Structure formats: C-alpha cells, structure tokens
Amino acid sequence: MKKECHFVDLIQSRGEHLHQARKDVRDKGKYISTLENKLLESKEQVKKLRCKIKSISSRKNTPERGNSPDQYNSDDNMATIIELANAIDGFVDNPTTARVIMADQVKRATR
C-alpha cells in the first residue's frame, strides 16, 4: 500500500511537471512569435528608411533649393549612405544574425 501511494504521488508530480513544461513551451512559443513579428516590422522599417535615404541622396544640390554645391566636405574614405543602407539590410536579412538575436532574447527572458 505504501509503494502504491508513492507511485501515485510520483505520477502526480510528473504530471504537474509535464503540465508546467507544456505551459513554458507554449509561453516561449508565443514570445518567439512576438519576436518574429517585431523582426518583420523592423525589416519593413529598414526598407522604408532605405527608400527615404535613396530619395534624399538622389536629390541634387541646386541653387534653386538654396543649397551650396559644396555644403558637405567630400571624403573618399567614408561610406556612402547607400552603402550604409546595404550594410544594414545585410545585417537584418542575415538569418544567422536573426536567429542569434532571437535566441539571446529568449535566453534572457527565461532566466
């Protein structure tokens, strides 16, 4: 009889642990889904910003606009705005980077 009670308690305990583990997995799944949605939103923002950057950089400095042709000093060693936008896109579009960021956020959230 004592062994039976022990096994019943053990089964109940395992059942509670299983229930909690399933709940944790479900919660983490929701969190990952939220992160994935935020990542998609960020990618859309990057695309919009890239379009704005291209639009701004394609404008010419004209006297009609009141801009001086040499308003900015040219430095051949500096990256262009388009190169910067491409670098940002490459970072955001890299699946390894996205997975590492999400994994790190999940780890921090579950500690």
Does 97 have pLDDT greater than 60?
yes
**56 or 20: which carries more pLDDT confidence?**
20
pTM across the whole model: 0.44
Q: What is the pLDDT of residue 22?
A: 95
Q: Give the number of other Cβ atoms within 10 Å of residue 48's Cβ.
A: 10
Q: Crossing angle of helices 2-58/95-109, nearest 10°?
A: 130
Tally of domains within the chain: 1
89: in domain: yes
95: in domain: yes
Q: How many CA atoms lie within 13 A of 5 on its CB side?
A: 2
Q: What is the pLDDT of residue 36?
A: 92
For 14, 47, 87, the CA distances from 42, given in Å and listed in that order, are: 41, 9, 15
Q: What is the pLDDT of residue 84?
A: 74
4: in domain: no
pLDDT digit string (tens) for 28-58? 999 999 999 999 999 889 888 888 888 877 7
14: in domain: no
